[in-house]
């Protein structure tokens, strides 16, 4: 940080104890850059596909051309978390197909 910016005020805004609008232009730019870096880091850790699959939920997404892809939900037992999808090895539904 440079002597022209208020390090303490920036720290307070990043900690959530002071309002962003209380900062000057340079301090706001530093805070925006820090927020952007934090959001980039957090987005890298996201894996919605795995979370939806684990929960047995369906979800939709679009590709770069705007085409819609629907990922259907996997069936689950009502009494436990096992998969009723016959394509999943070890699934109770697999024995029904045999």
Tell me the pTM.
Answer: 0.51
Same domain, 37 and 78: no
CB atoms within 10 A of CB 11: 13
Tokens linked to 85: 């999808």
Which among 49, 6, 86 is positioned nearest to 14, based on CA atoms?
A: 6
Give the C-alpha separation, 73 to 65, whole Å.
24
Give the C-alpha separation, 83 to 24, whole Å.
55
Q: What is the mean pLDDT of residues 69-97?
A: 61
Q: Which domain holds residue 54?
A: 48-97
Q: Is residue 1 part of a domain?
A: no
Same domain, 40 and 53: no
Over residues 23-55, the pLDDT tens digits come to 999 999 999 999 999 999 998 888 888 888 888
């Amino acid at each position: 940080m440079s002597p022209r910016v208020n390090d303490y005020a920036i720290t307070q805004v990043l900690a959530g104890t002071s309002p962003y609008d209380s900062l000057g232009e340079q301090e706001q730019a530093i805070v925006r850059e820090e927020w952007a870096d934090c959001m980039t880091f957090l987005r890298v850790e996201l894996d919605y596909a795995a979370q939806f699959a684990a929960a047995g939920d369906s979800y939709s997404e679009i590709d770069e051309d705007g085409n819609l892809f629907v990922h259907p939900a996997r069936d689950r037992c009502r009494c436990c978390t096992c998969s009723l999808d016959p394509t999943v090895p070890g699934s109770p539904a697999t024995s029904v197909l045999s």
